[in-house]
Each structure stands twice: as structure tokens, then as C-alpha cells.
Chains A and B, each alone.
Chain A
Amino acid sequence: MSYLEITPDLSTPRKERKIAARIWSEAFASVEFKIGLVVFVILLLSAIFYPMFSGIDPTKMNISAKLSPPVFFGDGWSWVHPLGTDQLGRDMLSRALVGLRYSLLIGVSTTVVMLAVGALVGLFSGYFGGSVDTVLMRLTDAQLSIPMIILAITILGVSRPTIPSIILVLGLAGWPVYARVMRSTVMSERKKEFVRGAMVLGATDWRIMFSLILPLVLPPIAFVAVLDIARMMIFESVLGFLGLGVQPPTPTFGNIIADGRKYLMNAWWIATMPGVFLVLTLTSINLMGAALERARNKIYGGA
């Protein structure tokens, strides 16, 4: 705003910190980030430690305790199985928590894969422009125009899904969005004077791309990628639900809910309870992601 020039005292004192650090502290100061973080840490710790310490094997069947409802619901609940058991008497809580582990593992790795591929494509496309850009962007458009899920289920449906293949397929299906965002930010950075300055100093394209532009454009994109971890976790659960995710007996949110759907009428908790866990985890991640996104917009908009 033009009239702030005339009131220099008004502008917040410029702290001499890197942008990434400023985004973190800005996000951390918000309520939503704190809520998200607390919930997330609790869930994460439970996912790591509960199955280990409770000694309950999520795949162990116990027909005598089958279809036990969650605590406080219906007849025959017990504290041994706080979230009840499924049709084979397996403990729902430990199943959900183990599912959460896989979900997080796949969500995070997938996001890293798609961020890496997308960032690289976008960096080359946006920096070199011209025919490099045309070829890469046509490829991106083509990839973007096939709905990600169709691509994923096609590949996983006709081959056998394993954890690495799921990560690879989801990651490869998701990169185009990053390539686009990256391309446009690289393009705008490339026009800036400091890039011209570096060129005049004699820096090579490689040096400008990787040591000057990439460190500038990657953090803001990477912060927002947190939101995609959640998106990818949903995706993983959808695949599991369709039977194309990590295969049973390994419990995942998707295959638990798909199983539970068959018993919806007499054991509603099998399908719904793990979902509550998933929703809680996703909400906590999304809150943190939204806080980071806002912090980024605020810092980039104001600087």
C-alpha cells in the first residue's frame, strides 16, 4: 500500500530470519496449528506405542469375543476392546492404529514423491521456457486430464498392489499440480532482478536453478504440501476400500471400512469407528496445513 511508505515506523520490524523460519513461527502462533499439532501428536504416539504396549495383535482372531461393541454402546462392551471388535473378534482400536501407521507412511512418502517429481519438472519447465516448457507442459496437461484415481486404480487393479507400488503410483499420478505451481513461481522468480544479476555475474543456468531459485521457491510449496499428505491418506484409504490398497490381513482404514460395510446393520462400529480416527488425523493435519498455508500467504503477500 502506497501510503505506508510515508509511515515507515508502521512496518513491522524486519526480523533477519529466513522465510522458512518466519513461516513456521507465524503458523505456530495460530490457534489452529496448535490444536492440530496436539491432536496429531497424540494420535501419532498412540499409533506408534499402543499396539506395541497393549500386547494386542490386530490380526489375532478371537471368535468368542466377536462383534463386541465399543465402550458405553449396547450390550457386552468391555475395556479390553475400547472400540469393540470385528466379525472375527479382532480388536478395533489396535487395528485402527496400525492402519494409521500405514496411512501416514503412504501419505508422507507419496507426497514426497510427487513433490520431488513435480518440483523438478516445474523447475526445468519454468526456467528454460520455450520448447522444453512446451513439451513438459503438454505432458503435464495430458497427465492432469486423466483423473488421478482412474489412473491409480487402473494400474493397481491390473497389477498386484504392494506398498512401494502404491506409493509410486499415487506419487506419479499427483505430480502435475506441483509441476504447474512450481513452473509459475519459477517463471516469476526468473524475471526478477537478482536472477539477472546472477547471470551478469556469470553464473551458469544450473547454479541459478539449484542454488538460487530452488531454495526460494521450494519451501512455500513444500509447506502447503502438508495439505496433500492428508489428501493422499484419503486416497490410500479409498484404494484400500476398493480392495486395491495394502492387502489384508494387514489392516488399513480402507480395508477395515470395506469389511465393516458388510456388517453395517448389526455392527455399525466396524465401518464407522476407524473412520473417526482417520477423520481426526486428517483434520489435525489439515488444520496444520491450513495454518501453514495462511502463514505463507501472509508472509509472501506482505514482504
Chain B
Amino acid sequence: MFIASFLARRLFQGALIVLLVSAIIFTLLRVVPGDPVRLMAGGMAPEALIEQIAEDMGLRDPIYQQFGRYVGGMLQGDLGQSFVRPANGASVGGASFDDNTRSERAEVWDLIANTAPMTLQLALLAMVFALIIAVPIGVWGGLRPGEFPDRFALYLSSVFVSLPNFWLGIVLALVLSVKLKLLPAIGYDGFAYTILPALVLAVEIAPFIIRTLTVSVAGVMGQNFIDIAAVRGLTRNQIIFHHALKNSAVPLLNLLGVQFSMLLGGVLVIEFIFDYPGLGLLTINAVMQRDFPLIQGIAIVTAAAFVLINIVVDLCATAIDPRLEY
């Protein structure tokens, strides 16, 4: 009962947010300088032709009309077509404008749907690595505030958070892949290609988990019910594993919800460095090519993912701490 009304409320709010996001991105892309049609048609195309195409595509209509059309399509699951990518994959555009290819431009939705699973695989593996590194260190640090484990957590997270992902990616690729030949690095040809990018991403995420955990575990350990549990006769293992860890999980969950965009940002750069064919690489190419429909589509899909992830996070959090329902 509660869950149904909660979901309804949050999904409605989420839809509003996605709408707002699409409006922001949509406007932004139309007010910034740079004409995408010029890019599409190529520098050689005559002015009249460019106007013709723009007219055909509805790009000269008032913004609100364009937006209305776009939202209409969005509601039917149509995110439009890429400006530059043909349905077969390679990008077109540049100097050789060919009017015939326009009908075969790739659907934005297909482009996203094809690359998203790759990114998901990368992100999940990275999350697993990050948790493996961060949870023991964070919990240990939180259990002994001010002592060595806590210092260790502090220094390690300070160093990790200071490693720019692209630089670390280059260094690790140089060392592990080029010199030691342990792992493949560039492109994608099997699961092994995910490991190195995932490691780099994990190093980027881990410090945040470590910090959140040390703070929340230390905070929970200082609370009255933990303090009194030993007097009530509970063993230290019961206290830590049944009570302290469960109570520290909520801030961690919230972190994962809020830092989702950081994760995506990391994915973007890392996919670019490792030439990993996921959503991030797609985004960068879309920006470089001024492929507006694709940028819009990606922004909207990621906003929707953000909304959904936060709903799931909040559901998990209420399952752990029932007070949050109220």
C-alpha cells in the first residue's frame, strides 16, 4: 500500500524532472552558437540548401513548437534520429553531403539501446571492484576512529581521489597493457577488455565510499544503542554485524544515488580513453559532431536513469530504516 503510493508519487515527480531536463537541454542546444545543419551538410553546401534542410527538419520553427514536437515523440518512445549517424554505424557528414543518406539516419533510441548494456557492464564491474576495495577499509577505519585504520582510510582515499581518471587510465594502460601485457586495453573484444577500465573507474569511486563509510560507521558506533548493547549482553560480532553495519548502510545508499552522475562522468572519460564502445564514447562523439538529437536523447535517458536509481535507493533505504517512511 505504502509502496504503491510512494512509487506513484516518485514516478510522477521523476517524470517532471525528466521533462524539465529535456526542456533545459533542448533550449541550451538551441541558444548556443553553432549551426548543426552546417555541420551536417558540410562546409561546401550552399546556403540555400542548408536553409532548405533546416526548414525540412523543422529547425526554423519557434523553439516551443520544436520542443512540443519533441516531447510528443518522446512520449511515444521516439527520441528522433541522429543528425550524423547512418543506421549502419559509421558517422557521416563532413564535406560530402549526400541527401539520400538522410532517410537512413540511425534512431537515437537504437544507438542508446545498443551501447547502454556495454556501459552497464562496465559500471557494475567497477562498482563491484570499488566495494571490494572500499568496504573493508571504510568499515575498519570507522571502527577505530583516530587510530591507524582510520588514518589509512584517510590517506588512501585522499590519494585515490587525487588521481585523474584519464591520467590513471593512460598510466595503467601503459604499465599493465603495453609493458606487462597483462590485460587488453583498447577497444572491446570480450569481457577481459572491461577489466582495466572498470579498475580505473573503481579507483575513482572508492574514496567516496571509504569516506562515507568511515564517517557513518564511526557515527553509528558512537550511538547509545550500540554503547548499551554490550551491557544488554550482546556479543561484539552481533553488535557490529547485526546493528552497526546495517545502520551505516543508509548513508552509503544515498551516496550511490547522489553520485550516480559522477559515475557516469567517469564512464564517459574512461570509455573515451579505452575506446570502449559504450554510452560514454557515444556521448563524446555526439558532442564533437554536434549531433543534437543524440545529445538530447542521452541527457534524457541518463536523467531518467538517475531518477529511477534514486527511487530504488530510497526504497532500499526505507526497507533498512523504516523511520524514513515517515
Contact = CB atoms under 8 A, between A and B. Distances in A.
A154 B170 contact: no
A282 interface: yes
A268 B174 contact: yes
Interface string B248-288: 00000000001011101100110010000000000110011
Interface stretch (A123-131, A195-203, A257-265): A257-265
A231 B260 CA distance: 16
B306 interface: yes
A279 B162 contact: yes
A149 B264 contact: yes
Nearest to B260: A147
Contacts of B306: 144-145, 147
B21 A145 contact: yes
Given A146-B302, A157-B287, A139 B29 contact: no
A246 interface: no
A159 B174 contact: no
Contacts of A265: 178
Given A32-B154, A283-B158, A147 B166 contact: no
A146 B295 CA distance: 11
Contacts of A148: 261-262, 265
B167 A279 contact: yes
B3 interface: no
Q: Mostly helix, strand, loop or mixed at chain A's interface?
A: helix
B171 interface: yes
Interface in B138-170: 154-155, 157-159, 161-167, 170
Which of B157, B167, B170, B306 has most chain A Cβ within 10 Å? B167
Contacts of A271: 167, 170, 174
Interface in A150-193: 150-151, 153-155, 157-160, 177
Interface stretch (A9-17, A89-97, A236-244): A236-244
A279 to B, nearest CB: 5
Interface in B275-326: 283-284, 287-288, 290, 295, 298-299, 302-303, 306-307
B13 to A, nearest CB: 8
Contacts of A151: 299
A153 B285 CA distance: 11
Contact of A145 (B158, B161, B307): B307
A234 interface: yes
Contacts of B18: 145
A102 B306 CA distance: 32
A159 B33 contact: yes
A294 B153 CA distance: 13
Nearest to B307: A145
Contacts of B268: 147, 149-150, 153
A32 B174 contact: no
Contacts of B307: 145
A286 B156 CA distance: 11
B190 interface: no
A142 B167 contact: no
Interface residues of A, number: 50
Interface in B149-208: 154-155, 157-159, 161-167, 170-171, 174, 178
Contacts of A268: 174
Contacts of A158: 29, 32-34, 287, 290
Interface string A82-107: 00000000000000000000000000
A278 interface: yes
A271 B283 CA distance: 24
A297 interface: yes
B120 interface: no
Contacts of B164: 234, 237-238, 253, 275, 278-279, 282
Given A142-B17, A257-B167, A150 B283 contact: yes
A114 interface: no
A230 interface: yes
Nearest to A285: B162
A286 B32 contact: no
A287 interface: yes
Nearest to A177: B258
B271 to A, nearest CB: 12
A143 B262 CA distance: 13
Given A144-B258, A150-B299, A241 B166 contact: yes
A272 interface: yes
A138 interface: yes
A147 B33 contact: no
B20 interface: yes
A142 B29 contact: no
A27 B152 CA distance: 17
B288 A142 contact: no
Nearest to A261: B170
A272 B167 contact: yes
A216 B90 CA distance: 56
A272 B272 CA distance: 18
Top 9 closest pairs, chain A to chain B, by CB:
A282-B162, A149-B265, A157-B287, A275-B167, A147-B261, A145-B306, A142-B20, A283-B162, A147-B264
